[in-house]
Chains A and B, each alone.
Chain A
Amino acid sequence: MIKTGNHSFKNFLLKLAACFALLFILDIGIGKLLKNFYFRQQSGYDFLTTYSIEKTKADILIFGSSRAVNIFNTIIFSERTGLSCFNAGRYGEPIFYHYAVLKAVVKRYTPKIILLSFDAGNFSNNTDAYDRITVLLPYYKNHPEIHSVVTLKGPYEKLKLLSNIYPYNSLLLPIISGNSNYSKKKYITDNGFIPIEKTFEGPLQTFDYSKEKDLDSIKINVYKSFIEECIRQHIQLYIVCPPYMINPIGTDHSIAEAKEIAQQYNIKFLDYSRDTFFTSKPQLFADFRHLNVNGVELFSNSVIKKLESLR
């Protein structure tokens, strides 16, 4: 039994219970309010994620980071293939996000074709990729299929998600923005595709790929799971690495590993990362990672042509 001084332990427990009761009520009330406004957004990145997870029924789905969002032109893909196309990529997101969205999508319907945009260094060891799982937290409660991905964020994630507010951590301003006209004007996309107008001004940077030798086995396993899920659902999967406007040294270990795995599963890996047609033309790039509108047109047509020859 805890020895007490002037104030009884019982008094302490009563006060503590009162504090928790107030917190509990506030958590439920504010959490519900945030949830309501989060899913009412009509524009912005979170809206596009919600659309990808809960609404899209496009025949062709494109997954990847900003290099998917800015480079795969959905209009060209739709016009050339006669199939509907949606770009489900999201800026800065690694394989964890794409796998979670895929799991949620295949629970509703089966797309015909999936293009996964792969980047150099995608398998490298960094904690940043795990932090980025945060964007999936609002979907945790209603989408049990993504639980395995969300819990990769940390050992206490399930505990944190007992709170109704925590899934919307740091989302207050994006939610306000996503429910406003300002956001509708700012985030205009063509089925998830966001073109970049500017032209690369240099200077050409040198990248030494040989330094990043340590690969993250969890990321590799999730990449494999992505491929296996597509095979299980009989979806035609193509993995594409768009071009870079850089001066590379050595081999990128992530690309090499991803290619080898794709080969094991008999999946086509289209590697444009050092395609001289693009890398010799800086005017096709917006920056060293992203093609601009001119580059996108050539690139999207080139990918479609290759896909047609492979089918």
Chain B
Amino acid sequence: MIFNSFHFLFFFIIVTTLYFILPHKKRWLLLLLSSCYFYMAFVPIYILILGFTIVVDYFAAIFIENSAGKQRRLFLVGSLIANIGILCFFKYYNFINTNFSFLLHGFGLSNPIPYLSILLPIGLSFHTFQAMSYTIEVYRGKQKTERHFGIYALYVMFYPQLVAGPIERPQNLLHQFREKHTFDSDRVFEGLKIIIWGLFKKLVIADRLGIYVNGAYNNVAQQNGMTLLLATLFFSFQVYCDFSGYSDIAIGTARVMGFNLMTNFRRPVFAKTTGEFWKRWHISLSTWFKDYLYFPIGGSKVSVPRWYFNLMVVFLISGLWHGANWTYIIWGGINGFYLVFAIITKKYSDKFNSVTGINKLPRLYLFFQISITFLLISFSRIFFRARTVKDAVTIIKKILTFKGSVFNDGSAIIIYCFVAIFFLLTVELKKEFYKGSFTLSHHQNFWVRNSYYSFLIILIILLGVFDGGQFIYFQF
């Protein structure tokens, strides 16, 4: 069941209505059952995997809390092995096996280990990380164990953020299942508005751009450099609107029922450095890696070479988290390299700025920084989007020729794409730089607000792509 479907619309209306009709004590059961239904709408059997990790982590957390010393650590390690083991088996088994075969082939040997025909359970990386954050926080003593099995299961399975985040922390979400949420008209409208904006980003912008991007990236050999360059830039906006659109719908859906999920995106298009970009992009994952990987391995409070090493490790693992393909690992590596390179060259870039005087022209300097960051991130995304490393290299080579005219099939797709991006940037620019100024979306007058969102709905019906299908991040 995907958010941009009528199936979900009916599901959402029924669940939300029942949620407010039912007494508070029974709401957790409704949410748990509806979350099970939501997940089973994809591949029913995979609910068993989710069930297994929930049982393991539920008891592991209790054992951790009730024990001390080495035993405590042992239970945590056991829980982590179970979670990461499942992730590795379903997501990385065939990838590891392929690379093992390649290695053996180099020595003239054949691989006796068979390949498995397994389908990746949807959202596995997301709910596994959320479950892991619970046991780690219990181990650290920052979170009390949840003794109510149903509520703990709901923490892992809460349907708005089950398959593509935001990856929540127990401190933020668990207690909310025990709070009594009364029906609040303003809050419901606030949630609905977030959902509408999310749908707009997904259907009008991301899926429209996706038509062009897929056309170019799925036929790399037949495309010229300029077409691939445009498709690469379009993909940056596509993946942002696709994923942040999903997050908005998740946050809005939860908000309608009274839950507050964490912010996942903070207008990453306007990041001034690649470091800042990662504070604005997929925040729930970035902070997860920071809290549970980067800091534990020493973070920046180590020797300088070790610091660089730590950054590279985090980004390489982040790449691997996204998918079992060398393209994702390279993508992670490039982004890690950007950060390390920025640290190494900081004094030179500062010197360049003062010599050229560009930093004395704040608006121009800002535009320059934002543009460079956007181009660097877009470049790394060639590996993120390309089907193979070979494809990615071909794309880069073709782009660097700057040859050919941009492909246009005459269906006005490019005009739609540019108008969609312009609309997005206008809205985000206003939110980023002119917060206190005139607003339509939060105008005091009900009819002005209503007209704005009605306008967005009309645009969705008129310009939305209704055959666009799944969200990109569902595959992770």
Q: A interface vs B, CB < 8 Å?
A: 1-9, 11-12, 15, 18-19, 22-23, 26-27, 30, 127, 130-131, 134, 155-156, 159-160, 163, 165-166, 168-170, 172-174, 177
Contact = CB atoms under 8 A, between A and B. Distances in A.
A19 to B, nearest CB: 5
Contact of A6 (B20, B184, B455): B184
A1 B6 contact: no
B185 A9 contact: yes
B183 A9 contact: yes
B458 A26 contact: yes
Given A2-B183, A19-B453, A22-B454, A163 B416 contact: no
Contacts of A15: 185, 189, 446, 450
Given A3-B20, A156-B6, A23 B454 contact: yes
Nearest to B180: A3
Nearest to B211: A170
Interface in B181-209: 182-186, 188-189
B458 A27 contact: yes
A30 B183 contact: no
B461 interface: yes
The CB with the most chain A CB atoms within 10 A, among B184, B411, B467, is that of: B467
Contacts of B447: 18
Q: Most chain-B Cβ atoms within 10 A of its Cβ — which of A11, A23, A170?
A: A170
B462 interface: yes
B451 interface: yes
Interface residues of B, number: 31
Most B CB within 10 A of own CB, among A4, A19, A174: A19
Contacts of A23: 454, 457-458
A163 B461 contact: yes
Interface in B131-162: none
A163 B185 CA distance: 27
Interface string B77-91: 000000000000000
Contacts of B185: 4, 7-9, 11-12, 15
B361 interface: no
Given A4-B182, A5-B183, A23-B457, A169 B446 contact: no
B183 A169 contact: no
A4 B6 contact: no
A290 to B, nearest CB: 15
Contacts of B17: 2
A131 B451 CA distance: 31
Contacts of B189: 12, 15
Nearest to A25: B454
Interface string B338-364: 000000000000000000000000000
Interface in B434-476: 446-447, 450-451, 453-455, 457-458, 461-467
Contacts of A166: 461
B418 to A, nearest CB: 12
A189 to B, nearest CB: 14
Interface of B: 6, 17, 20-21, 182-186, 188-189, 411-412, 415-416, 446-447, 450-451, 453-455, 457-458, 461-467
A165 B412 contact: no
- Shortest 9 CB-CB contacts between residues of A and residues of B: A7-B185, A5-B182, A12-B185, A173-B412, A156-B6, A131-B467, A2-B20, A5-B184, A4-B183
B182 A159 contact: no
8 contacts: A2-B17, A2-B183, A4-B182, A4-B184, A7-B184, A11-B185, A155-B6, A170-B465
Contact of B416 (A6, A11, A160, A173): A173
Contacts of B462: 30, 165, 168-170, 172
Nearest to B258: A5
B76 to A, nearest CB: 40
Contacts of A174: 411-412
Nearest to B415: A173
Contacts of B455: 26
A169 B467 CA distance: 11
A30 B458 contact: yes
Given A2-B21, A12-B188, 11 more contacts: A5-B182, A15-B446, A18-B450, A22-B454, A23-B457, A127-B467, A131-B467, A163-B461, A170-B462, A172-B462, A174-B412
B463 A172 contact: yes
A15 B464 CA distance: 25
Contact of B454 (A9, A26, A155): A26
Contacts of A3: 20, 182-183
Contacts of A6: 184
A134 B163 CA distance: 30
A175 to B, nearest CB: 10
Contacts of A22: 450-451, 454
Contacts of A27: 458, 461
A8 B467 CA distance: 38
A22 B416 CA distance: 26
Nearest to A156: B6
Nearest to B186: A7
A18 B462 CA distance: 21
Contact of A19 (B186, B412, B454, B458): B454
A7 B190 CA distance: 13
Nearest to A163: B461
Contacts of A156: 6
Nearest to B5: A156
A163 B412 CA distance: 24
B256 to A, nearest CB: 11
A29 to B, nearest CB: 10
B461 A165 contact: yes
A158 to B, nearest CB: 11
A171 B16 CA distance: 35
A83 B450 CA distance: 58
Contact of B463 (A134, A160, A170): A170
Given A15-B185, A23-B454, A160 B446 contact: no
A89 B461 CA distance: 28
Contact of A1 (B21, B412, B450, B467): B21
Nearest to A187: B410
Nearest to B455: A26
Nearest to B468: A131
Contacts of A2: 17, 20-21, 183
Contacts of A127: 467
Nearest to A186: B410
Contacts of A19: 450, 453-454
Nearest to B181: A5
A286 to B, nearest CB: 16
Contact of A169 (B412, B450, B463): B463
Contacts of A163: 461
Contacts of B461: 27, 163, 165-166, 169
A260 to B, nearest CB: 31
Contacts of A131: 467
A5 B185 CA distance: 8
B460 to A, nearest CB: 9
